[in-house]
Amino acid sequence: MTKPESEWTWKELPVGNVILEPGNASQYRTGDWKTLKPVLKKELCIHCGLCYIFCPDMAYSLNEENYFIADLFYCKGCGICAKECPTGAITMVLEEEEK
Amino acid sequence: MTENLNVFAVRTLTQKEYFTPGHRSCQGCAEALAVRLVAKALGGNVIIANATGCMEIVSSPLPYTAWRVPWFHVAFENTAAVASGIESALKVLMRKGRIPRKKIVTLAMGGDGGTADIGLQALSGALERGHNFLYVCTDNEAYMNTGIQRSSSTPFGASTTTSPVGRVQMGQITWKKNMPAIAAAHNIPYVATACPSYPIDLVQKVKKAADIEGPAYVHILSVCPTGWRSAPELSIRLGRLAVETGIFPLYEVEKGQYRLSIDFPKLKSIKDYTKLQGRFRHLTDEMIEEIETRVHKEYEQLRAKAGKGS
Amino acid sequence: MGKRIGMEVSIAAAEAVKQANVDLISAYPITPQTHIVEHLSELVANGDLDAEFFCVESEHSALSVCVGAAATGARTFTCTSSQGLALMSEITYIASGLRLPMLMIISNRTISAPLSIWNDHSDTMSIRDCGWIQFFVENGQEVYDHVFVSYRLGEDKNVLFPVIINMDGFILSHVIEPIELIEQEKIDQFLPPYQPVHQLHPDHPVTMGAFALPAIFAETKKAQEEALRSSMPKIIETWKAFGDMTGRYYHPVETYKTEDADTLLLTMGSFGETASVAVDKMREEGRSVGLVKIRLWRPFPFDDLKQATLHAKRLVVIDRAISVGACGPVASEVKAALYGNDRRPSVYNFVAGISGRDVTPSDFIKMVDKAELEIEEGNREGYEIYGVRG
């Protein structure tokens, strides 16, 4: 796990402040930015993949059942997937606070 | 739209992501989507030189990086020069046997400010020298990262913080600089325009540009909901409308030969596009007519260049 | 002992770059650096140097190209002066922050306005803080020698800093001097190929040039500052290895007849040779004068300077640039370095030789005369531009 920036000492920094772990931004949770979250109605899904390809946050991936599902850890709730879904299978709903 | 009918389904593109989630762009950022698609098109065998700007900031806050490929940010205006250095270093190191010979794509990426304004000199130099690299301009039509200030790529009439709407002046008073034409004027082998709303087209163009020997330039319209004052969920729709209204035509210039990627028998009304964006909220009917006249004229000129003139 | 040839110093510098097996040269012309890049382009065109050589569209791009190439693992070279240095100054800070080794020769020339092509140190003084290792050289041989020293030093895994060689424009760049060339086999042994610690390559993807939030920025600067300061032992070591190879030993501060001197002259760059002639003349007349020459400008040689000067009564610092509205930049740094010692010389600051105006041995004698008189009369803060009419 990469330490957040406020915990690094100057001696720990790689020379030139190079970041050696490719793609470690994926440890950062952007999912708590959202107010709305996408919900899929599986019966309407035609597995076209448009939700997946249009997501600016790469939140979608295929599950075992061959549906594209949004990873709420990253999803910022922009609503592009719901808007672009050709069958209206995705709706944006208000995210409830975890109890 | 696409000549290669083998790749017409989104699911046939690689599922691998070279630009990871966890980046800090705004919700609905089509520039992040553009960059994601460019990265997918090029795969892992690439070295990226990136200008200062939205994509650089959101993808590289020390100690995190959203990049799974080698990536280098130096400054704002010198991306094409940095890329020239990378490309030439690869050439000489391979020639001298210090690194194994293999094809590695050198990609330079910058926004509209970093390309058409402050970066124009370095770009022109790199294109003239004929380096074997690809320059991608992600154009969100203003200096978005610093807070939505106008650039030479801001369209006529658009409201930005430095071309605001007031009593005496109403938004940007100059017409958008034609960067693809400037790139084409350098007689480079390949120039193209693309939009993430047409993802397969974008990916194919980027792949083609990377395969070409010599400099290639791809200009990508990047809808910015924050700067354009549009709803985040409309970013793909707005990109599509930009193309369908003729405001941002999709085309290629290959060895000086123009080719439209998609041609419309009738262009949609400009109003369909502007009414969805707060930055155009103030446009009067006269201004809209002025814009539409010019857009249609330029579209016809483009069609003529592509051999489809009436 | 290598071959000793009379050659123009710019040509010697270019020959050194060739012998250093440079991989990439980016060039933009500006007087008085042009002879270096012109000769390099001839060497490449004739196949005598296997390197990428290309002309860029501005000095800012010249250094940017070197940064991109160095990050990819190439040994790079560029050179500039004056306005060109000012234009690329943004990138000098970046190259140091990124810890990328490269060599830049600055053919020192004054910064306009008014425009002038002649020599002084105002260009290099404007980037004092950029974080490069910076040398000042006195003559053509030193320019040639320091090319090899700079690459070996900058590329050392415990250093990793870009290096600047300051050589006076026209006064050095365009004169013919006797240069002892070093045999290629010796250079190849002294200077192995560049092995980068981090490199842009798809096989091991790294991100370079990330931005730093306030929470981490101070740590990045501390790391850079510590690294530059602690490169001093490596600098000494590299000079020693070079001296063992050639018999020419260099030091951060060079001294000439200073041991028992009451009055010391302090110079940087080509002034040194002329001043030493003046010192000889004054010694003949029985005056207690010596000469201190700062060779290593960054990291600043605090200890060596103190050792060379603290014993003297008077220190006459000759600047070749002005920090307009303040004083000579070298004098201000020297004073700051000596301030902590209770026993220290009185400093008198002259600015001389601005924009190539000739400074002769008798000028140095006059400056020493004036300084000694002024200090005698209680002036502890002397500062003047020497030889201005009116």
Flag if A19 and B63 touch (Cβ within 8 Å): yes
* Mean per-residue pLDDT, C17-21: 98
B30-42 and B199-211 helices, crossing angle to 10°: 50
Residue C69: name the closest of C156, C194, C227 by CA.
C194
Q: What is the mean pLDDT of residues C146-171?
A: 98
For residues C378 and B3, the model is more confident at C378
What value does the mean pLDDT take over residues B56-68? 97
User: Nearest-CA distance from C55 to chain A in Å?
Assistant: 28
- Check CB contact of A57 with chain B, cutoff 8 Å: yes
What pLDDT is stored for residue B271 in this prediction? 97
What Rg, from alpha-carbon coordinates, does chain B have? 19
Residues C262 and C241 in one domain: no
Amino acid A97: pLDDT: 65
B301-310 pLDDT, tens digit each = 999 999 986 5
A86 upstream amide cis, omega within 30 of 0 = no
Tell me which fold the domain B13-305 belongs to: Rossmann fold (3.40.50)
Q: Quick one: pLDDT at residue B1?
A: 43
Cβ proximity of C320 and C269 under 8 Å: yes
| Alpha-carbon dihedral sign for residues A66, A72, A75, A76 | positive
Which residue, among A59, A57, A77, has the nearest Cα to A68 in the 3D structure? A59
**Which of A17, A49, A76 is closest, CB to CB, to B27?**
A76
CA distance linking residue B27 with residue C114, whole number of Å? 52
User: pLDDT tens digit string along B130-173?
Assistant: 999 999 999 999 999 999 999 999 999 999 999 999 999 999 99
Give me the mean pLDDT over the C274-296 stretch: 98
**What is the rounded distance in angstroms from the CA atom of residue C92 to the CA atom of residue C63?**
8
Please give the angle made by the CA atoms of C379, C383 and C385, to the nearest 5 degrees.
140
Contacts of A13 in chain C (CB under 8 A): 219-220, 223
Which of B62, B94, B135 to mutate: most C Cβ within 10 Å?
B62
What type of residue is B197?
S
A47/chain B closest Cα distance in angstroms: 9
Residues of A in contact with C228 (CB under 8 A): none
Among B64, B89, B95, beta carbon nearest to C72: B89
From the list A9, A19, A22, which residue is nearest C219 (CB)? A9
Mean pLDDT across the stretch B260-288?
96
Question: For chain C, how many structural domains are there in total?
Answer: 2
What is the rounded CA–CA span in Å between residue B171 and residue B142?
12
CATH at residue C67 = 3.40.50.970
Q: SS3 of A85, please?
A: coil
Give the torsion through C-alpha atoms of B264, B266, B270, B273, to 10 deg: -50
* pLDDT > 90 fraction of chain C, expressed in percent and rounded: 99
Of the candidates B74, B88, B124, the beta carbon closest to that of C54 is on B88
The predicted model gives C311-329 an average pLDDT of 96
Does the pLDDT of residue B7 top 90, yes or no?
Answer: no
Is the pLDDT confidence value at B5 over 60? no
Reported as a single tens digit per residue, the pLDDT across A24-72 is 999 999 999 999 999 999 999 999 999 999 999 999 999 999 999 999 9
Residues of B contacting chain A (CB within 8 angstroms): 9-11, 13, 15, 17, 19-30, 32-33, 36-37, 59-69, 196, 199, 225, 231-237
Torsion angle of the four alpha carbons A86, A88, A92, A93, in this order, in degrees rounded to the nearest 10: -170
Residue C289 pLDDT greater than 70, yes or no: yes
Q: How many CB atoms lie within 10 A of CB A44?
A: 12
Instruction: List pLDDT tens digits, range B230-263.
Output: 999 999 999 999 999 999 999 999 999 999 999 9
Task: Judge if C20 and C118 occupy the same domain.
Answer: yes
- Expressed in percent and rounded to 5, the helix, strand and coil fractions of chain B are 40, 15, 45
Q: Do C227 and A14 touch (CB under 8 A)?
A: no
C202 to B98: CB separation less than 8 angstroms, yes or no: no
Token pair recorded at residue B255: 């060895």
Tell me the C-alpha to C-alpha distance, in Å, between residue A16 and each of B41, B48, C95, C169, C223.
30, 18, 9, 32, 9
Domain hosting C268: range is 253-385
Dihedral (CA of B73, B79, B85, B88) sign: positive
pLDDT at B15: 86
Q: Is the pLDDT reported for residue B3 higher than 60?
A: no
Structural tokens at position C234: 């490596």
What is the arithmetic mean of pLDDT over B166-191?
Answer: 97
pLDDT computed for residue A96 by the predictor: 82
Nearest CA in chain A to B67: A23
pLDDT band at A79 (very low <50, low <70, confident <90, very high): very high
Q: Which residues pair with C349 in a beta bridge?
A: C317, C383
- Which member of B61, B71, B80 has the closest CB to residue C211? B61
DSSP B267: P
For residue C151, the model assigns a pLDDT of 98
Domains of chain A by residue range: 30-99
Taking the Cβ of residue A93 and every Cβ of chain B, the question of whether any pair is shorter than 8 Å is answered with: no
Those residues whose C-beta lies under 8 Å from the C-beta of residue C42, and which sit 6 or more positions away, are none
Residue B13 pLDDT grade (very low, low, confident, very high; cuts 50, 70, 90): confident
Residue C144 has pLDDT above 60, yes or no: yes
The chain-wide mean pLDDT, for chain B, equals: 95
Structure tokens that stand for C3 in this block = 């071959």
Of all residues in chain A, the one with the smallest CA distance to C98 is A16
Tokens of B273: 């596009």
State pLDDT tens for residues C348-371.
999 999 999 999 999 999 999 999
C390 part of a folded domain:
no
| Two tokens, residue B23 | 């980046």
Domain boundaries, chain B: 13-305
Residues pairing with B190 in the sheet? B216, B254
Using the predicted structure, report yes or no on whether residue C168 has a pLDDT greater than 80. yes
B with C: how many residue pairs have Cβ under 8 Å apart?
A: 161
B11 close contact with C: CB closer than 8 A: no
Q: Tell me the two tokens of residue C339.
A: 């301030």
**C172 and C76 share one domain:** yes
Q: Mutate one of C200, C206, C229 to test the A interface: name it (highest A CB count within 10 A).
A: C206
Residue carrying the six token digits 């060739």: C18
Report the alpha-carbon distance of residue C43 to residue C25 in Å, rounded.
12
For range C126-134, the mean pLDDT: 97
Chains in touch with B (3+ beta-carbon pairs under 8 Å) read: A, C
CATH number where C277 lies? 3.40.50.920
Residue C383: per-residue pLDDT: 97
Q: Which two tokens stand for residue B58?
A: 């959101």
With CA atoms as reference, report the closest residue to B10 among A26, A60, C259: A60
Class of domain A30-99: alpha beta
Q: Which residues are paired to C168 by β-bridges?
A: C108
Residues of C in contact with A6 (CB under 8 A): 215-216
Report yes or no: B35 at the C interface, CB cutoff 8 Å.
Answer: no
Q: Which amino acid is at B154?
A: T
Mutate to test the interface with B, among C52, C76, C198, C216 (most CBs of B within 10 A): C52
How much of chain A, in percent, has pLDDT values that exceed 90? 95
User: Could you give the CA distance from residue A46 to residue C377 in angstroms, rounded to a whole number?
Assistant: 96
Residue in chain A closest to B29 (alpha carbons) equals A56
* C8-20 mean pLDDT: 98
What token pair was written down for C100? 């990328």
What is the predicted ipTM?
0.96
**Subunits adjacent to chain C (3 or more Cβ pairs under 8 Å):** A, B
What is the rounded average pLDDT of the residues C108-118?
96
What is the model's pLDDT at position B310? 53
| Residue B256, φ and ψ in degrees, nearest 5 | 85, -10
Please indicate, yes or no, whether residues C28 and C173 belong to a single structural domain of this protein. yes
Rounded Cα distance between B153 and C385, Å, is 50
Task: Please indicate whether, in this complex, the C-beta atoms of C72 and B45 are within 8 angstroms of each other.
Answer: no
**Under DSSP, is residue B109 helix (H, G, I), strand (E, B) or coil?**
strand
Structure confidence at residue B2 as a pLDDT band (50, 70, 90): very low
